[in-house]
Amino acid sequence: MIYSMFLDIPNHVKTSMMHVFSKDYLKTMVNGSCVLKKLPKCALVLCGLFSTALLFSGLNYPDRLWKTFQHSICDDLPYHLRTMNIHHFTENEVYDYGLYLLDQILQEAGKKLTDFPSMPSFVRNWDMTTTNRLIVEQLNWDLETERASAETYIDMLNSEQRIAFNDIWKSIACDKGRSFFINGPGDTGKTFLEKTICHAVHAEGWIILCVASTGLTALLLPAG
């Protein structure tokens, strides 16, 4: 794979690119970034090779090179994500993480991905995701499962629950920050409504913290 990638790079920069494989160069990159210290060496070498191509080769269409080799470059990143307790991710999110790591390496050379207009940029806030264990746990929901659960729960809401859900969801989705007090006798569906809201929020990839005044009540809520 590395050989095939090398063929797409102009001859006059191939020699200068080889230093990316040296132990000293790898050590310099790793010591400069807490993110790169935990990166598998294979991914580090390949991202380093690609960053060197960006910096020194003057590629006209680096996005095409990335598109061609992104699978091989990011091949061991799913394992790396799992070691960070991130278990639910798509193939595109793996590539997005690869772009983030590539950006980290470029920053060590005083550049960043946005300095190369044709290159795609990462979307997710990986700085927050990879450095805060609690945030990682809260984002580690299977979105498809949560989306299916939300749809099932919403369909089961009665008319009064639906009115409450719509009002609360509008506040969440529009970032209005309103406070709501849900009151009613036992077995009237308060917890069911709250679980519906939780699943709907998780399905969007957002964070919601379920808290309760008693441990028994907390156990009835997702990750309560």
What are 81-130's pLDDT values in tens digits? 877 767 778 899 999 999 998 888 888 888 889 998 889 999 988 877 66
On whether both 6 and 91 belong to a single domain, the answer is yes
What is the SS3 assignment for 211?
Answer: coil
Q: Which residue has the higher pLDDT, 45 or 224?
A: 45
Q: Is the alpha carbon torsion for 205, 175, 169, 216 positive or negative?
A: positive
User: Which residue type does 97 have?
Assistant: Y
Q: What is the pLDDT of residue 127?
A: 77
Burial class (CB in 10 A: 0-12, 13-18, 19+), 172: middle
Domain edge (last residue) among 108, 136, 164: 136
On whether both 150 and 126 belong to a single domain, the answer is no
In a domain, 224, yes or no: no
- pTM over cut 0.85: no
CA 114 to chain centroid: 19
CA distance 224 to 107: 39
On whether both 148 and 129 belong to a single domain, the answer is no
User: Which residue type does 98 have?
Assistant: G
On whether both 116 and 67 belong to a single domain, the answer is yes
On whether both 117 and 159 belong to a single domain, the answer is no
The pLDDT mean for the chain works out to: 76
Q: Tell me what percent of the residues of the chain surpass a pLDDT of 90.
A: 14
User: Which residue type does 113 have?
Assistant: L
Q: What is the pLDDT of residue 5?
A: 40
Q: Where are the alpha helices (DSSP H) in 2-74?
A: 2-7, 11-17, 23-31, 34-37, 41-56, 62-73
- Structural domain including 157 reads 143-219
On whether both 165 and 126 belong to a single domain, the answer is no
On whether both 106 and 195 belong to a single domain, the answer is no
Per residue in 160-177, pLDDT tens?
999 999 999 999 888 888
What is the SS3 assignment for 45?
Answer: helix
Region 187-205: mean pLDDT is 87
| pLDDT higher than threshold 60 for residue 195 | yes
| pLDDT higher than threshold 70 for residue 8 | no
CA distance 94 to 179: 37
Q: What is the pLDDT of residue 36?
A: 42
On whether both 187 and 89 belong to a single domain, the answer is no
